[in-house]
Structure 1
Amino acid sequence: MASIQNKPYRNRALDNKVKLIWLALYYGFARWLPESYSPLGKLLRSRQIRYIICKNIFLKCGKNVNIERGSNFGSGFEIEIGDNSGIGINCTCASNLKIGSNVLMGPQCFFLAFNHNFMDKSISIKEQGYSEKMVTTIGDDVWIGREALFTPGRTIADGTVIAARTCVCKDFPAYSVIGGNPSRLIKTRI
């Protein structure tokens, strides 16, 4: 009976070791392959190689997913990404990001998972540690422009368009077009 109870634990431990091998393969090799749409990237099949590797790392990885050159997603073990979506060139993602289907992401986007604590004035900010890790969720059919920054725990509703260099620090309704620093509603797509 004890061996039956321990078996799932052993499988989970083995799965984590295998995922670590895939992770080393991504960061040591596949991350540095050329961009997917460059002539050399097409020749080397960079997109397909990164897809196969990330499919073995991420918690969920849909069909036709494009992880671009230089993307950093920490361990990636909790990342979920839907069909026809991607992570842009040189993007930095929290390891627990959730991305819906048909999401376009420009280069150099940055997703934060937590912040520094700072409310106790009797202790230096450096010594106060971090807030709890928060999940950023991106809905379906979203377009994220170049160099967008996301504060922790944002929920990006379906159909949202985010302008380049936007600091997304609050949530907006579905089909919003947002931009600026701090982010604000520019117009609605409805």
Structure 2
Amino acid sequence: MAQPLDGRVAGAWKGGPSFALGNRLYRLAWAATWLLLARWTPPPLRAWRRLLLRLFGARVAPTANVYASARIWSPANLVIGDHAAIGPGANVYSMARITIGAHAIISQRAHLCAGTHDIEDPAFQLRARPIAIGARAWVAAEAFVGPGVTIGEGAVLGARGCAMRDLPPWTVHGGNPATHLRDRRIRFGAST
């Protein structure tokens, strides 16, 4: 049997959107709400930003801080713990659940990416896998955390690091791909 001219295997994806209309409308409403009601707000209005996130389904602790310039794909898939922060320009691509533990920091322009494409599928269909950022962990500036990754409690992913595998608790990783640099010496408020 001849393959279609576009390279897809017969019987594979026939086209159309990856997400239902309701999902796309929800995200459109969210994007418009954040742009009009939050994106311009100064840092002290964090309670207002938390309220908007909650209205769209996020579970946000009352002491969490999300900067106005952060981009969140779907608040319904976001959980943020006490005193956790999502920094300026951070991109939270929450196609699947993203959990950010208490006192964790997502620094400026970091990217948490819970979605990818299936490279074995001729149509490169989307696949979503949850991300968990442990309590007191730090994802430093411009670092990338891939789908399905767990950053352990107190772990650090250094600036511009790329984590495509889990990082053990209380360790420091850096580079692309992220490699173990050392263990953290002080374990502030460790639950172990």
Taking the aligned partners of 1:75 and 1:26, their CA distance within structure 2 comes to 11
Asked if 1:173 is matched to 2:168, the reply is yes
Is the 1:19–1:56 Cα contact (8 Å) retained in structure 2? no
**In the TM superposition, what is the alpha-carbon distance from 1:189 to its structure 2 partner?**
1.4
Pick aligned residue for 1:129 from 114, 118, 125: 125
Structure with bigger helix share is 1
Return 5+ residue gaps in structure 2 as ranges: 1-24, 186-192
Equivalent position amino acid for 1:110 in 2? H
Q: Does structure 2 retain, via aligned residues, the 8 Å contact 1:104–1:143?
A: yes
SS state at 1:170 partner: coil
Sequence identity (%)? 28
Cα distance in 1 between the residues matched to 2:58 and 2:51: 13
- Superposition deviation, residue 29 in structure 1: 2.3
> 5+ unaligned residues in a row in structure 1: which ranges?
1-16, 37-44
Match of 1:31 among 17, 24, 39: 39
Deviation at 1:33, TM superposition (A): 2.1
176-185 or 68-77: bigger deviation: 68-77
Q: CA deviation at 1:25?
A: 2.8
Q: How many residues align?
A: 159
Cα 1:92–1:18 shift into 2, 3 Å: closer
Partner SS state of residue 177, structure 1: strand
Given residue 31 of structure 1, which amino acid in structure 2 is its aligned partner?
R
Greater mean deviation of Cα atoms: 104-113 or 150-159:
104-113
In terms of fraction of residues, the more strand-rich structure is 2
CA shift digits 1:113-164 (9 cap, x unpaired):
22222236xx4xxx2322x210000110112210011111100110111111
